[in-house]
Amino acid sequence: MFFPLPSDLTQNRPKMESFRGFRMWVFFFMCLLFQSGNGFYLPGSYPHKYGIGDELWVKVNSLTSIDTEMPFSYYSLPFCKPEGGVKDSAENLGELLVGDRIENSPYRFKMHTNESEMFLCQLDKLSGDQFKILQKRIDEMYQVNLILDNLPAIRFTKKEDYLLRWTGYPVGIKIQDVYYLFNHLKFNVLVHKYEETNVARVMGTGDAAEMIPTIDKEGSDKPGYMVVGFEVIPCSILHNADSVKGMKMYNKYPSPIKCDPSTVAMPIKEGQPVAFTYEVTFEESDIKWPSRWDAYLKMEGAKVHWFSILNSLMVITFLAGIVLVIFLRTVRRDLTRYEELDKEAQAQMNEELSGWKLVVGDVFRAPTNSALLCIMVGDGIQILGMAVVTILFAALGFMSPASRGTLITGMLFFYMILGVAAGYVAVRLWRTIGCGDQKGWISVAWKAACFFPGIAFFILTTLNFLLWGSHSTGAIPFSLFVILILLWFCISVPLTLIGGLFGARAHHAEYPVRTNQIPREIPQQKYPSWLLVLGAGTLPFGTLFIELFFIMSSIWMGRVYYVFGFLLIVLILLVVVCAEVSLVLTYMHLCVEDWRWWWKSFFASGSVAIYIFLYSINYLVFDLKNLNGPVSATLYLGYSLFMVLAIMLATGTVGFLSSFWFVYYLFSSVKLD
């Protein structure tokens, strides 16, 4: 152990004091983040204290189905509406893009007050259109999604001694060609007693956060409660239509209601009245407010995630061994032998050169469609940076499901900001290929700003027309389309051009060897080189296909995905595998005197997108086999195509940049004329 002398302590006192101050600030910041009493909570929003008897209002989200993947408004079905009319809740950009439409509902509770046989409303007669739309939504297995204090309603069912969790409840059920409607809801609200009385009260969870300091009066010991759970049991009850005539909302139903989820009794028929009722019970729970999302975020199959990481590490170790052999046994050995020879021996050896040393005059020859390559690499940097930063913030808890839409909003924000990196990389690579020529850099930067967003807008617009035609809430409103276009041209494009300006002014990478005027003829290969390139994508796919299943299930099966820590590790491993695969294949091509490595290094790792798209088709056929109609299948394939395009650009960029570094390092050590 090292003990500093007194003179060292005197000299280093300012540094030690500054370090101690920095450490105190870090400690203070961590205390602010993670103290459990009156601090901030991650993940989630802020606690809301309710007094006994305070009103709690349930909100409704879009109806969803894993059979159609098209959300619809809650009030597109003949449900009871609030007395004051339907009002939309404030929604962020991410919520609108994923199809969430949060609205108020007539379901009203009073904190810590049990209520039963609460009457909502009665529809006098089901019209023909209402009857048909209910039948269709029941056939398509649509779920009703309710929200209380930012918590989605959760439903528990038992299957073979296993307790299954579901968010929301089905609209109804079909038994022997008869359609039954769930018209009675039994709610169970879990509450936890508010323990701190002199802390800042926070109003509005999820939708709006407004800090309101509270000063309790002396002698006031009025208890407060926080909502920590929201459970629902749907029932089908046959009400007496005559007995509820003239009843107002929130009146007591005249007869007892027994909610038994195992039986159904309310068949729907055209021209028949339908009454809606509910009941609510409050139950005190030991669940703390910061832990109230545990029921939704319980990680299942942790061993599978660890197996995925172990599998990736084995692939990385195998490829790292190949790379090590290339560097230590082949490249280093050849270079050392070459440096030890005298000039005459070097000249004689030059005549006997073979393998990668023969393409020294062609290895940096500009590739075909070099501008397109620069644009794709720039966009790949932008997408990869967005993915890394977003997943990192999500792993730290800043983008939890408690704050709906923040993940998509964060991705858009980081993508726009990283336009600077896209412009810089694209233009600097363009200048490097052009040996320092700045001509045309504005065009490259402009195309980099429009290439991937343009394709994305084309795909999303096409899919949006399908959603508009189906009257789905998943359709992006026209006003939001205008906002996205303004964000693109007013923020993303200018930032990309600014990055291009920095790239034009930066010093370009100078090639270590000169390029011959006449291209060298490439020997005829025994097998097509592109076949090897396309097959290389299997290794990166092997590192992520297990995690890909959980992500696909989250997107298309309505499951909550929150293992972003695992996803961050898998992303890092994927980057390493892509770099190694591309590097090895580039060396193999150079060894057979094929100097056209630029595009091949990009697609060697980018070809993983092909296997992801094939996996998406497999998932559609075997896991989403109940998907109804060509519109739903087109939506699925369209979004999958958009996803694999982004993955191809990101992984291809990793492979190309690693190969460029390898080739630059390799030939900078060679001294050939």
pLDDT in tens, 230-257: 999 999 999 888 888 889 999 999 889 9
Considering only 180-194, 345-359, 450-464, 659-673, which range has the smallest mean pLDDT?
Answer: 345-359
Q: Which residue range is the domain that position 182 belongs to?
A: 54-195+222-297
Nearest to 43 by CA among 414, 655, 561, 467: 561
Residue 539 lies in a domain: no
DSSP-assigned states of every residue in 344-358: HHHHHHHHT--GGGG
Other beta carbons within 10 angstroms of residue 161's beta carbon come to 5
The confidence score (pLDDT) of residue 513 equals 86
- Buried b or exposed e, range 342-376, using 16+ CB within 10 angstroms: eeeeeeeeeeeeeebbbbbbbbbbebeebbebbbb
DSSP-assigned states of every residue in 602-665: HHHHHTHHHHHHHHHHHHHHHTSTT--HHHHHHHHHHHHHHHHHHHHHHHHHHHHHHHHHHHHH
* Non-local CB neighbours of 364 within 8 Å, separated by 6+ positions: 511, 513, 515, 663, 667
The confidence score (pLDDT) of residue 313 equals 81
Number of independent structural domains in the chain: 1
The confidence score (pLDDT) of residue 670 equals 64
Secondary-structure percent of the chain, ordered helix, strand, coil, rounded to 5: 50, 15, 35
Query: What average pLDDT score do residues 314-323 get?
Result: 79
From CA 38, how far away is CA 32, in angstroms rounded?
A: 9
- Give me the residue label for tokens 């490097």: 432
Whether 561 has a pLDDT exceeding 80, the answer reads no
For the chain, state the CA radius of gyration: 31
From CA 616, how far away is CA 120, in angstroms rounded?
A: 44
- Backbone dihedral angles phi then psi of residue 542, each to the nearest 5 degrees: -65, -25
Distance set, CA 259 to CA 236, 263, 266 (Å): 8, 9, 12
Pairing of the two strands 274-284 and 184-193: parallel
Residue 377 lies in a domain: no
Pairing of the two strands 55-60 and 103-110: antiparallel
The confidence score (pLDDT) of residue 22 equals 41
User: Residue 37: pLDDT band by 50, 70, 90 thresholds?
Assistant: very low
Query: What average pLDDT score do residues 178-205 get?
Result: 75
* Non-local CB neighbours of 470 within 8 Å, separated by 6+ positions: 70, 631
Considering only 263-272, 299-308, 399-408, 612-621, which range has the smallest mean pLDDT?
Answer: 299-308
Residue 454 lies in a domain: no
From CA 419, how far away is CA 386, in angstroms rounded?
A: 10
Torsion-angle region of 505 (φ positive above 0: left; ψ -120 to 50: alpha; else: beta): alpha
The answer to whether residues 537 and 647 touch, using CB atoms and an 8 Å cutoff, is no
Averaging pLDDT over each range in 5-14, 39-48, 191-200, 604-613, which range is the top one?
604-613
DSSP-assigned states of every residue in 245-311: TTPPTTPBPSS-----TT-B--B--TT--EEEEEEEEEEE-S--GGGTTHHHH----HHHHHHHHHH
* Non-local CB neighbours of 191 within 8 Å, separated by 6+ positions: 50, 111, 112, 225, 226, 227, 228, 282, 283, 284, 285
- Backbone dihedral angles phi then psi of residue 473, each to the nearest 5 degrees: -75, -10
The answer to whether residues 255 and 243 touch, using CB atoms and an 8 Å cutoff, is yes
The confidence score (pLDDT) of residue 330 equals 62
Element spanning 450, H or E = helix 441-469
* pLDDT tens digits, 499-529: 999 999 998 888 888 888 888 888 887 777 7
The answer to whether residues 87 and 104 touch, using CB atoms and an 8 Å cutoff, is yes
The confidence score (pLDDT) of residue 12 equals 42
Residue 492 lies in a domain: no
Whether 572 has a pLDDT exceeding 60, the answer reads yes
The answer to whether residues 513 and 435 touch, using CB atoms and an 8 Å cutoff, is no
Residue 267 lies in a domain: yes
Helix ranges restricted to H, 107-257: 128-139
- Backbone dihedral angles phi then psi of residue 133, each to the nearest 5 degrees: -70, -35
Residue 85 lies in a domain: yes
The confidence score (pLDDT) of residue 221 equals 60
Query: What average pLDDT score do residues 604-619 get?
Result: 94
DSSP 75: G
Residue 40 lies in a domain: no
Query: What average pLDDT score do residues 285-297 get?
Result: 86
The model's pTM is: 0.83
Mean pLDDT of the chain: 83
* Portion of the chain with pLDDT greater than 90, in percent: 48
User: Residue 149: pLDDT band by 50, 70, 90 thresholds?
Assistant: very high
Q: Any idea of the CA torsion for 541, 544, 550, 556, to the nearest 10 degrees?
A: -40
Query: What average pLDDT score do residues 277-294 get?
Result: 91
From CA 469, how far away is CA 478, in angstroms rounded?
A: 14
- Backbone dihedral angles phi then psi of residue 483, each to the nearest 5 degrees: -65, -45
Question: Residue 248 corresponds to which tokens in the numbers above?
Answer: 């107002």
User: Residue 627: pLDDT band by 50, 70, 90 thresholds?
Assistant: confident
Nearest to 595 by CA among 654, 515, 658, 672: 515
Other beta carbons within 10 angstroms of residue 492's beta carbon come to 23
Q: Any idea of the CA torsion for 80, 86, 90, 96, to the nearest 10 degrees?
A: 70
Whether 215 has a pLDDT exceeding 80, the answer reads no
Helix ranges restricted to H, 140-279: none
Beta-bridge mates of residue 236: 264
Higher-pLDDT residue of 397, 669 = 397
Residue 580 lies in a domain: no
Q: Is 55 helix (H, G, I), strand (E, B) or coil?
A: strand
The answer to whether residues 506 and 445 touch, using CB atoms and an 8 Å cutoff, is no
